[in-house]
């Protein structure tokens, strides 16, 4: 097992996007996305999983929040996660090839973004 794999294994639950029992509000999504983004930014070796999970949560929030999603995006942008970056993370998380192979990809989100553009499903 490589060191980066060990970090991901030991980080189980750290990037959980489980919101069972939590009211589906803009504030609950904002809180969880901000928490994951902060951790991902601080832990470079685990950041690949972090931005992927942020993208997944943003996609879920867009689907569930409808009109409040714009407010959430603006609130996250004011907190440092710019709207363009949010869109990039969402695009990466929507890609089925990346979903299947994300554990094998390098840590840089820019590589993931390039792959997501090549393998549009």
- The torsion angles phi and psi of 15, rounded to 5 degrees, stand at -110, 25
Q: Given a cut of 90, is residue 82 above it in pLDDT?
A: yes
Q: How high does pLDDT run on average in the chain? A: 76
Structure confidence by residue, pLDDT tens digits, 47-67: 557 788 899 999 999 999 988
Is the pLDDT reported for residue 3 higher than 50? no
Top pLDDT among 60 and 109 is at: 60
| 51 and 40 Cβ atoms separated by less than 8 Å | yes
Encode pLDDT of 11-30 as tens digits.
Answer: 445 555 666 776 678 887 88
Q: Which of 9-18, 58-67, 93-102, 106-115 has the highest mean pLDDT?
A: 58-67
pTM value surpassing 0.75: no
Crossing angle (nearest 10°) for helices 47-65 and 69-78? 150
Contact (Cβ atoms closer than 8 angstroms) between residue 34 and residue 58? no
Name which of 4-13, 60-69, 76-85 the model is least confident about: 4-13
């Amino acid at each position: 097992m490589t060191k980066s794999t060990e970090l991901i294994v030991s980080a189980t639950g750290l990037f959980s996007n489980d919101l069972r029992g939590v009211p589906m509000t803009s504030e609950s999504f904002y809180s969880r996305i901000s928490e994951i983004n902060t951790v991902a930014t601080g832990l470079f070796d685990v950041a690949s999983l972090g931005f992927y999970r942020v993208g997944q949560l943003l996609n879920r929030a867009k689907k569930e929040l409808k009109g409040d999603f714009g407010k959430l995006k603006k609130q996250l942008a004011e907190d440092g996660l710019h709207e363009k970056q949010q869109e990039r993370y969402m695009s990466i998380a929507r890609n089925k090839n990346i979903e299947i192979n994300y554990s094998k990809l390098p840590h840089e989100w820019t590589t993931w973004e390039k792959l997501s553009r090549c393998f549009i499903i």
